[in-house]
Amino acid sequence: MDIRVGPDGVPRCGWVGDDPEYRRYHDEEWGRALHGDRELFEKLSLEGFQAGLSWITILRKRPRFREVFAGFEPTVVAAFDDADVERLMADAGIIRNRAKILATIRNARIVTEMAPGELDALMWSFAPPPRARPQSFADIRATTPESDAMSKELRRRGLRFVGSTTMWALMQSTGMVDDHVAGCWRA
């Protein structure tokens, strides 16, 4: 279903379903321009944790992620050590995947080596030009040349869990691209 009318009578992208948190996320966050090194580092980290899972799982765990990852402040996360990794691995409130935890710490260390504003500028430099909204879910691709290029550049810099599909999801969620399906109330 490309468009779904919620219990409030509002037409939304069909992926939203009936979950109130998903509706809130769709209405207030998804597809809105997100800027800032810390904010984009958080989104990059959470998208990496989402790989292989549903986004609603991440949304439900996001408050705890923010708590245990110090608000995704890159300088703080970059200083995490082996004891922090074990602390995180023991926390049932997050996704306990060692590779993803280590990648988040590694990525934070790389981000802290960048000049202020560099992560924001770098990521937004891959935003595609504006285009018409997709008419249906069938028109939405999992990757694009822009997400391929972003992924390649981030990997070249040493970041992990930044594959092209993950980067396209990040581009959608941060407003770098508008993938709200035609007919969705969000403009």
Q: What is the CA radius of gyration of the chain?
A: 17
Residue 178 DSSP symbol: -
Beta 11-13 vs 3-5: how paired, if at all?
A: antiparallel
Residue among 15, 29, 39, 55 flagged as catalytic: 55
Residue among 22, 25, 30, 168 flagged as catalytic: 25
Residue among 22, 30, 42, 47 flagged as catalytic: 47
- Residue 73 to residue 46: CA distance in whole angstroms: 13
Query: Is 124 a residue of the active site?
Result: no
In a 13 Å sphere around the CA of 17, the CA atoms on its Cβ side amount to: 7
Query: Is 22 a residue of the active site?
Result: no
Residue 126 DSSP symbol: T
Query: Is 47 a residue of the active site?
Result: yes
Catalytic residues: 25, 47, 55
